[in-house]
Amino acid sequence: PGRNQNKSNEDILSELWLINERAREKELIESDRLLPLKAEEYIA
């Protein structure tokens, strides 16, 4: 179960990274900043 949980968390982080990359491309946020995302909202 631990391995599955870790994989799930990695997938979530990957998706959050993609969201931030898209936001940068659209210039919605500064290139050196991340959106203020709370991981627990996505993991819950």
Backbone angles phi, psi at 12, to 5 degrees: -65, -45
- Pair of tokens at residue 44: 């819950």
Name the residue range of residue 10's domain: 2-43
- The CB density around residue 42, as the number of other CB atoms within 10 Å, is 13
- Pair of tokens at residue 1: 């179960």
Q: Please give the chain's pLDDT, 44 residues, in tens.
A: 556 666 788 888 888 888 878 877 776 655 555 555 665 665 55
Q: What is the pTM of this model?
A: 0.41
Give dist(CA 26, CA 18) in Å, integer.
12
Can you give the pLDDT at residue 20? 78
Can you give the pLDDT at residue 32? 56
**Structural domains of the chain, count:** 1
Can you give the pLDDT at residue 14? 86
